[in-house]
Amino acid sequence: MHATLGWIGIVRLGLVQTALGAIVVLTTATLNRVMVVELALAATIPGALVGLHYAVQILRPVWGHRSDRGRRRTPWILGGMATLGLGGVLAALSVALMADRFALGMTLAILAFLLVGIGVGAAGTSLLALLASAVAPARRPAAATIVWLMMILGMAVTAVLAGGLLDPYSPLRLVAVTGAVAGLAFLLACAALLRVESRLARPAVVAAEPLAPGFRVSLADAWADPQARLFTVFVFVSMLAYSAQDLILEPFAGLVFAMTPGETTTLAGMQHGGVFLGMVFTGIVGTWLSTRHPGVLRAFTVAGCFGSALMIGGLVLAAAAPEGWPLLANVVALGVANGVFAVAAIGSMMALAGSAGPRRSGMRMGLWGAAQAIAFGLGGLAGTVAVDLLRLVTDDAASAYGAVFALEGVAFVAAAVIALRLAGARPSPSPAMVPAE
């Protein structure tokens, strides 16, 4: 007999995401700033390193399959967290070395960001697979919200606290702060996972479950599932559109609306606030409606994608006629729509993976995680390159940004159309599930 996670158990797994986010924000944001500002390196260098950490996550299906083959996912989560922590510390050390020994520092940085990508992929995929198989269908919208908000919380708290500890800046202080964050994050993950998985199934039942087949057979099985294959395409298209706006929104506001750096930073913060509101709304309302309407997650996913396309369309109009355009309201509404679709998509991901069974969920989570990582890596690059090329052709920043926003809007519409074709996933009828904390 299998048990499902109660609210306390869901929050405990959310703490693992908090720990993961704490390390990631230092490696992808803080070290990025140090390389560009303190070391005066070209922005392409940290951009390429962050891209490398996304690229290696194409191996997520491998890690998901390995956790499917094991009797427990906890070792894979903790192993991934340890690898992530080691990568974060080595990344900080590499930046410290770059000032005097650039070649050695870059070599170490490449290794470090590879480890960061491996750690994020192994821990994140296994954690989501555990959630997919251990959360009751009615709780999935709220679980997706809780876990993702706790990751954002980890990023925000770490950025604030580490930012204070890093002043006055020195390479030694950077390494020390990163090491402390990595160590505390790993201990938090260990404490959060303690005995969680052992309470989900009786040992005799776990031992009786058949092992997952080999990697190629598992991958072929997942790809042969029409819903899993279609959802992979949806994740790639939607996340490509979602990530493409990240690196061009603030420059757009500065060039077209003449906003100062402080004003564009505030604008980005308000957008993230909108994402937060959209996530919370979807988590609460989705959980309330899911018991009566099993297809509610798909409805929220479609609505969020269409809403995002509509708000992106507003930015296209803003580029054409910026005078008097309510840019702040437009960007906040875009954030809300992004938050709605993101949480609904994560909840749908958990539902589809959970309905496949505990020995198949890791492979599916890995497949979708790989699609997301590739989309994130390509999206930011594609958006910036497209803007630069169009500015060379048109010699008009507003037109260039407007054209790229229009392409993003089309991608969101395409994602909504794909989501409409996704059937509402049904939980596996067996084994019987009872609530547990």
Taking only the tens place, the pLDDT of each residue in 79-97 is 999 999 999 999 999 999 9
Give the per-residue pLDDT at 425.
Answer: 43
pLDDT exceeds 90 at position 364: no
Give the per-residue pLDDT at 34.
Answer: 82
CATH 3.30.420.40 is right for the domain spanning 216-426: no
* Cα distances (angstroms) measured from residue 114 to each of 64, 342, 401, 405: 18, 26, 33, 32
Residue 343 to residue 399: CA distance in whole angstroms: 32
Q: How many CA atoms lie within 13 A of 300 on its CB side?
A: 31
* Lowest-pLDDT range of 58-67, 180-189, 376-385: 376-385
What is the average per-residue pLDDT within 191-200? 86
pLDDT band for 435, please (50, 70, 90 cuts): very low
Give the per-residue pLDDT at 107.
Answer: 95
Residue 395 to residue 389: CA distance in whole angstroms: 10
Residue 131 to residue 196: CA distance in whole angstroms: 11
Which pLDDT tens digit goes with each residue over 19-45?
998 898 888 777 877 887 788 877 678
pLDDT band for 265, please (50, 70, 90 cuts): low
pLDDT exceeds 50 at position 414: yes
Instruction: Kindly state the percentage of the chain with pLDDT values over 70.
Output: 91
The mean predicted confidence, pLDDT, of the chain is 84
pLDDT exceeds 90 at position 309: yes
Fold of 1-211: Growth Hormone; Chain: A; (1.20.1250)
Whether 216-426 and 1-211 are alike in CATH topology: the answer is yes
Bigger pLDDT: 199 vs 404: 404
Note the pTM of the prediction, 2 decimals.
0.79
DSSP 371-424: HHHHHHHHHHHHHHHHHHHHHHHH--HHHHHHHHHHHHHHHHHHHHHHHHTSPP
pLDDT exceeds 90 at position 410: yes
> What does the domain layout of the chain look like in residue ranges?
1-211, 216-426
Which pLDDT tens digit goes with each residue over 94-127?
999 998 899 999 999 999 999 999 999 999 999 9
Cα-Cα-Cα-Cα torsion 353, 283, 296, 291, nearest 10 degrees, comes to 90
pLDDT band for 379, please (50, 70, 90 cuts): confident
Give the per-residue pLDDT at 3.
Answer: 66
pLDDT exceeds 70 at position 63: yes
Closest CA to 243 of 404, 121, 416: 404
Q: What angle do CA 364, 362, 372 make, to 5 degrees?
A: 50
Give the per-residue pLDDT at 261.
Answer: 67
